[in-house]
A = this chain, B = another copy of it.
Amino acid sequence: MEFRIDRSSGLPAYLQLVRQVREALRLGWLGPGDRLPTVRDVVARSGVNANTVLKAYRELELSGLVEARQGSGTFIKAGLGSTDPEVMAALRARLAEWVREAREAGLDIEDIDALVRSVLAADEDGNQITAGDGVAVL
Residue of chain B at shortest CB distance from A6: B135
With A95-B116, A111-B26 known as contacts, the answer to whether A138 contacts B105 (CB < 8 A) is no
A4 to B46, CA, bound (A): 32
Q: Which of A67-110 contact B (CB under 8 A)?
A: 81-83, 87-88, 91-92, 94-96, 98-99, 101-103, 105-107, 109-110
Interface residues of chain A: helix, strand, loop or mixed (majority): helix
Q: Which positions in A face B, CB cutoff 8 Å?
A: 2-8, 10-12, 15, 22-23, 26-27, 37, 41-42, 45-47, 81-83, 87-88, 91-92, 94-96, 98-99, 101-103, 105-107, 109-124, 127-128, 133-138
